Structure 1
Amino acid sequence: MDLVSTSREALRIGAVSYLNSKPLVHGLTALEGAQVRFDLPSRLADDLSAGRLDVALVPIVEYLRHPEYQLLSSACVACWGPVLSVKLYFRTPPEEVQRLALDEGSRTSAALAQILLAQLHDVRPQLVQLPIGDSIDDVEADAVLLIGDRAMQTSDDQFAEVWDLGDRWCRWTELPFVFAAWVARPDLPVHASQLADVFDSVRDRGVAAIESIVAAEAANLGLEPALVRDYLTRYLHFTLAKREQLGVELFAKHCRELGLVEASRSSLEHSS
């Protein structure tokens, strides 16, 4: 599909290279009229806010923080239980956490970790950042949040406790959790309805190509193909439907209560 029919310039798309997003970006670079750049979710969010991108796959909390943004598609990264790639590693019991290190790449997961600590243990820790280039051993903190591929590659053995944040949320709320979605600025240079079809189609083709994604990414990340397949087919799903919307709305409520978002929406709507 040609994305330049209503714009003089190529559409600037920000995409995530984590394993959890592969079905949403598979074949994306082949789109005509698009410039696709891959980066961390947090950096994409900053570039979208600054106008350096038109569209990006960003943490869902960024959509909640910007009422002017448009949710473009039903394509998302979500879970119904354990997610495997968003984990909170504790060096002390959860109720004793005073200092929390947050993965530089995280925004939604950072908010989720704070919500769960506050709601389940009445804990509001001091926050520090764990840069992408640093390992979990490089930071002095009672708990460390890791997301993405390095969360899947870190052993649980040396810690007092490990939370899979998807699992904790779903058990607590009995709702799915949505981590990321395709979001656009209000000055989008093409019709939003056109992009909804594009990103839904890219997602559908990516899901259909799971086996080729599994083969490539297992080798790339040094993970067992069975684990990668289970991760992409059993642990994650990629469609934002009614229960996912309810999950986002509940997440927004807790974000507001903790002051993690200044503005939020009463409902979730995407272009059609």
Structure 2
Amino acid sequence: GRLDVALVPSIEYFRNPDWTIVSDACVACDGPVRSVKLYGRVPIEQIRTLALDEGSRTSAALVRILLKERFGLEPQLCPLPIGTSLEDSQVDAAMLIGDRAMLPMRDRYEFVWDLGQQWSRWTGLPFVFAMWIARSGVDLQGIDEALTAARDEGVARLAEIARHEAPGLGLSEDECLCYLRDNLDFQLHDRQRRGLQQFCELAARHRLAPAGVELAFYDQPTAR
């Protein structure tokens, strides 16, 4: 079946012109994110092969943009399936997301990039990983209020969420709470929107999304 409303990776939103952002709830960061990292076995200028965690399309686009824009690199890409260990791969560098990017690595690496931090330092803006999206023709009455209320309730219960989730992730309760409270940002305000717009334009420049996309927000309707 088809969903009317869903939490969607930002890169997929750019690729679907009939979708609209329907809430100021999102998943973003404004500085280090801790859960999206690039691990390099060689100096960054020498990267020729890059493995991309199959768990994130947006982060895969982000690392490709950063490498091309800042170093002129377009490495050969290969997938890193969920559940596959980075230590088992032979690539020059690999992008990991989620809890496995937050756990200690056995191997030593030439460098480790936190991609949220790299984006923020380069652009001066937050990075938005995912937003709530609705397809065209959906009755949006009450959607914004419901999603905002759900976001606010979750933010008010971060300590409880961290306590519940930590054991299954191999992280301490304090690590989980710090991540949710200090690294993630759940508000799609003006700076986040500007960061999203810049990512959209860069994705188009590198042919990772269509050109000429105009972001459409529930509170600022735009013909896309």
**TM-score between both structures, scaled by the size of structure 1:** 0.77
Q: Any unmatched runs of 5+ in structure 1?
A: 1-50
Residue 152 of structure 1 and its aligned partner are, at CA, apart by 1.1
Distance 2:164 2:137 in 1: 36
* 1:48-87 aligned within 5 A: 52-87=2-37
Distance 1:264 1:204 in 2: 33
Tell whether 2:206 aligns with 1:258.
Answer: yes
Matching residue within 145, 152, 159 for 1:197: 145
Aligned to 1:164: 114
Tell whether 2:176 aligns with 1:228.
Answer: yes
**What amino acid maps onto 1:122 in structure 2?**
G
Matching residue within 108, 114, 132 for 1:182: 132
Distance 1:129 1:53 in 2: 27
Q: Secondary structure at the match of 1:153?
A: coil
Aligned to 1:100: 50
Residues 82 and 235, structure 1, Cα contact 8 Å, conserved in 2: yes
Residues 50 and 92, structure 2, Cα contact 8 Å, conserved in 1: yes
Residue 194 of structure 1 and its aligned partner are, at CA, apart by 1.8
Distance 2:56 2:104 in 1: 16
**What amino acid maps onto 2:187 in structure 1?**
T
Q: Secondary structure at the match of 1:259?
A: coil
Residues 252 and 264, structure 1, Cα contact 8 Å, conserved in 2: no
- Higher normalized contact order (CA 8 Å, seq sep 6+, divided by chain length): 2
Q: Any unmatched runs of 5+ in structure 2?
A: none
Tell whether 2:63 aligns with 1:113.
Answer: yes
Identity of aligned residues (%): 47
- Spell out, residue by residue over 1:63-94, the C-alpha distance to the aligned partner (whole angstroms, 9 max, x if none): 11111112111100111100000001111111
Residues 86 and 145, structure 1, Cα contact 8 Å, conserved in 2: yes
* 1:146-165 aligned within 5 A: 146-155=96-105, 158-165=108-115
Distance 2:29 2:201 in 1: 19
Relative to structure 1, the CA distance from residue 168 to residue 227 in structure 2 (aligned partners, 3 Å threshold; closer, same or farther) is same
- Spell out, residue by residue over 1:95-152, the C-alpha distance to the aligned partner (whole angstroms, 9 max, x if none): 1111111111111100100011011111011111111121112322111111112111
Aligned to 1:6: none
Residues 84 and 164, structure 1, Cα contact 8 Å, conserved in 2: yes
Distance 2:5 2:107 in 1: 39
Aligned to 1:217: 165
Residue 263 of structure 1 and its aligned partner are, at CA, apart by 4.2
Q: Secondary structure at the match of 1:56?
A: strand
Residue 52 of structure 1 and its aligned partner are, at CA, apart by 3.6
